[in-house]
Amino acid sequence: MASPLEKALQDPGSMKARILTSARRLFGDNGFSDTTTRMIAGDVGIDVSTLHYHWGEKQDLYEGVIGAVHEEIMERFQEVERRCRKADLGRRLEIAIDVMCDYLFANPEVANLILFGYFRKADHTAVLDVNITTYIANIAVAMGLAADQEAVSVQTKARILAVWHSVLNFISGQAFFRPMLDVAPETYAAVVKETLKFILVPAFTIDTAEALKTGSNNH
Amino acid sequence: MASPLEKALQDPGSMKARILTSARRLFGDNGFSDTTTRMIAGDVGIDVSTLHYHWGEKQDLYEGVIGAVHEEIMERFQEVERRCRKADLGRRLEIAIDVMCDYLFANPEVANLILFGYFRKADHTAVLDVNITTYIANIAVAMGLAADQEAVSVQTKARILAVWHSVLNFISGQAFFRPMLDVAPETYAAVVKETLKFILVPAFTIDTAEALKTGSNNH
DNA sequence: AACAATCTCCATCATGTGATGGAAACAATC
DNA sequence: GATTGTTTCCATCACATGATGGAGATTGTT
């Protein structure tokens, strides 16, 4: 569907791909407005106009980054779904937490990029909006919380959003929280996984039966 | 401690206070970089130089906003602490969720401002950092998860961070998630409270005894 | 070697932004 | 009513940023 993106991914050494890589990291670090095209060009070691030549305007490059990240995330969800077969709900949650944490800790800019998207009031929100809705439906089905992607109750959606946020925030706020907890980087990752499982697993494993039954009436 | 801030709060109709109010909302909506001093001045109905006359440079105004919000939050925590006396842990959590949700839904810019702080790599992070640490310690004590503010284990800190994030994200992402859940604003608030209690209460009420015992060894 | 296509850079523009100086309006005191 | 201190606005500056045009370099093809 995204032909320029495919072309860029074909050869990671191509100029277009190199720009995308730098843009991804810098946008993730500083957000859209605090990342200048000159910063990205400087990081790649090229001129600004070369950047514009390959990607058009800044907004297009940003959407290219979001698109690439989106594809990666969807791949991870498919991995979760594969590994979740024939496991109970508690185990499924643990698998999902492990897979997503491993991925996000290895690509910390991803969590930032997604969370930045919540704030931007720009026009591209529609794009990201669709993505998030897709994530939610995917998780619901993979977790066995909904029969198909169309029949996800409000409660289930809200609960998945809460889980998803919890994961993202711990990774996104890493630079902020790790010093606060005063632990080494590797320890931080372990603490995060443990905390997520501690908080999330009991709620779903204990209460799921009732939650699904009363899932369509809101208080 | 903050003398200019006190002066502004003394008279809500004063120019300095009016600027602070507009700045608070606009910074909350758009973040620091996407909010211009001209936007704020325009919202108040004054000239840019009037704004600079009262508040100095943009960064100072921003810190004024953060400071005011910080004071409000601390008041809420004190309220939680008062109302938590002689209640068990599950009930304490519910009280804390209710109080903080009511406050944040009534002042939605607050959640944005705090979350924006996670991302900004600017110099003021130290200020916010201290604030967050204070929040965490306060909650830990109010919840009865730690004896005093100095003796909070890594696990407890991480768990409180997770709770705090969950609350903030639902309010901050309201404009984003409410359409996704397709519910009315009042319903959204109810769903959020319910979801938070659903997810958070079981973990702490079931597991607390063991959690506190093994609170100092990770993994 | 000649040519065409692609790529990269230098110079430059238009615009928006943070910030300031100084003039004018206002308020308070005598 | 004059004087002094405070507040507000107009005009303007310096600078960073997004973006472009066109010249030069590079590569591939014949």
Task: Report residue B65 as tokens.
Answer: 């906003």
> What's the Å distance between residue B57 CA and nucleotide C10 C1'?
35
DSSP state of B145: S
Q: Are residues B25 and B113 in the same domain?
A: no
B199-218 confidence digits (pLDDT tens): 888 877 765 444 444 444 43
Q: Is the CB of B46 under 7 A from strand D?
A: yes
Q: Are residues B199 and B114 in the same domain?
A: yes
The enclosing H or E element of A53 equals helix A48-55
Name the residue among A39, A66, A69, A34 with its Cα closest to residue A51.
Answer: A39
Q: Are residues B21 and B115 in the same domain?
A: no
Helix ranges, chain B (H): 3-10, 15-30, 37-44, 48-55, 58-84, 89-106, 108-119, 125-143, 154-172, 174-181, 185-213
**Residue B91 backbone phi and psi in degrees, to 5:** -65, -40
Task: Report if residue B62 sits inside a domain.
Answer: no
**Cα–Cα distance between B106 and B29 in angstroms, integer?**
15
How much is the pLDDT for B10?
A: 62
> What's the Å distance between residue A65 CA and nucleotide C13 C1'?
29
* Facing residue for B173 by CB, picked from A118, A179, A192: A118
Task: Report if residue B65 sits inside a domain.
Answer: no
Q: Which residue from B minimizes the CA distance to A157?
A: B181
Mutation site, A116, A139, A161, interface B, largest B CB count within 10 A = A161
Q: Are residues B128 and B82 in the same domain?
A: yes
Task: Report if residue A70 sits inside a domain.
Answer: no
Determine whether A136 is exposed, middle or buried from the number of CB atoms within 10 Å of its CB (0-12, 13-18, 19+).
Answer: buried
Q: Are residues B125 and B186 in the same domain?
A: yes
In this prediction, residue B164 has a pLDDT band, given cuts at 50, 70 and 90, of confident
Q: Is the pLDDT of residue B122 over 70?
A: no
How much is the pLDDT for A127?
A: 57
Q: Work out the mean pLDDT of chain A and round it to a whole number.
A: 82
Task: Report if residue A218 sits inside a domain.
Answer: no
Q: Are residues B107 and B39 in the same domain?
A: no
Domains: count for chain B: 2
* pLDDT above 90: percentage of residues in chain A: 41
Task: Report if residue B115 sits inside a domain.
Answer: yes
Q: What is the mean pLDDT of residues A73-90?
A: 87
**Cα–Cα distance between B38 and B51 in angstroms, integer?**
9
Q: What is the mean pLDDT of residues A42-67?
A: 94
How much is the pLDDT for A3?
A: 41
Q: Are residues A112 and A158 in the same domain?
A: yes
Q: Are residues B183 and B207 in the same domain?
A: yes
Please judge whether B198 and A192 are an interchain contact, meaning their C-beta atoms are less than 8 angstroms apart.
Answer: no
**Cα–Cα distance between B11 and B17 in angstroms, integer?**
7
How many other β-carbons are positioned within 10 Å of the β-carbon of residue A192? Answer: 27
Name the residue among A218, A151, A159, A163 with its Cα closest to residue B185.
Answer: A218
CA distances, B211 to each of A198, A214, B188 (Å): 9, 31, 32
A148-164 confidence digits (pLDDT tens): 877 888 888 888 888 88
How much is the pLDDT for A31?
A: 92
In this prediction, residue A179 has a pLDDT band, given cuts at 50, 70 and 90, of confident
Pick the more confident residue, A24 or B131. A24
How much is the pLDDT for A129?
A: 59
How much is the pLDDT for B9?
A: 52
Tokens 């029949």 correspond to A151
Q: Are residues A37 and A136 in the same domain?
A: no
Q: Are residues B15 and B45 in the same domain?
A: yes
On strand D, nucleotides with any atom < 7 Å from a protein CB are 7-11, 16-22
In this prediction, residue B157 has a pLDDT band, given cuts at 50, 70 and 90, of confident
How much is the pLDDT for B51?
A: 96
Pick the more confident residue, B85 or A20. A20
Q: Work out the mean pLDDT of chain B and round it to a whole number.
A: 82
B78-97 confidence digits (pLDDT tens): 898 888 887 888 888 899 99
How many other β-carbons are positioned within 10 Å of the β-carbon of residue A126? Answer: 9
How much is the pLDDT for B40?
A: 97
Q: Are residues A104 and A1 in the same domain?
A: no
Please judge whether B165 and A165 are an interchain contact, meaning their C-beta atoms are less than 8 angstroms apart.
Answer: yes
Checking each nucleotide's C1' against the CA of B16, the nearest proves to be D7
Q: Measure CA to C1' and name the residue nearest D9.
A: B47
Q: What is the mean pLDDT of residues B123-148?
A: 73
Q: Is the pLDDT of residue A219 over 60?
A: no
Residues 11-70 of B with CB under 7 A from strand C: 35-38, 48-49, 52, 56-59
A94-130 confidence digits (pLDDT tens): 999 999 999 999 999 999 998 887 766 654 455 555 6
Please judge whether A125 and B176 are an interchain contact, meaning their C-beta atoms are less than 8 angstroms apart.
Answer: yes
How much is the pLDDT for A186?
A: 92
In this prediction, residue A205 has a pLDDT band, given cuts at 50, 70 and 90, of confident
Q: Is the CB of A53 under 7 A from strand C?
A: yes
Q: What is the least distance, in Å, from the CA of B11 to any CA of chain A?
A: 32
Q: Are residues A83 and A133 in the same domain?
A: yes
Q: What is the mean pLDDT of residues B112-141?
A: 72
CATH number of residue B28's parent domain: 1.10.10.60
Boundary-marking domain end, from B14, B34, B56: B56
Task: Report if residue A140 sits inside a domain.
Answer: yes
Task: Report if residue B25 sits inside a domain.
Answer: yes
Q: What is the mean pLDDT of residues A161-180?
A: 86
Q: Residue B144's domain spans which residues?
A: 70-213
Q: How would you classify residue B144: left for phi > 0, otherwise alpha for psi between -120 and 50, otherwise beta?
A: left
Determine whether A70 is exposed, middle or buried from the number of CB atoms within 10 Å of its CB (0-12, 13-18, 19+).
Answer: buried
Task: Report if residue A171 sits inside a domain.
Answer: yes
For the ranges A202-211, B61-70, B167-176, the lowest mean pLDDT is seen at A202-211
Q: Is the pLDDT of residue B127 over 80?
A: no
Pick the more confident residue, A94 or A134. A94
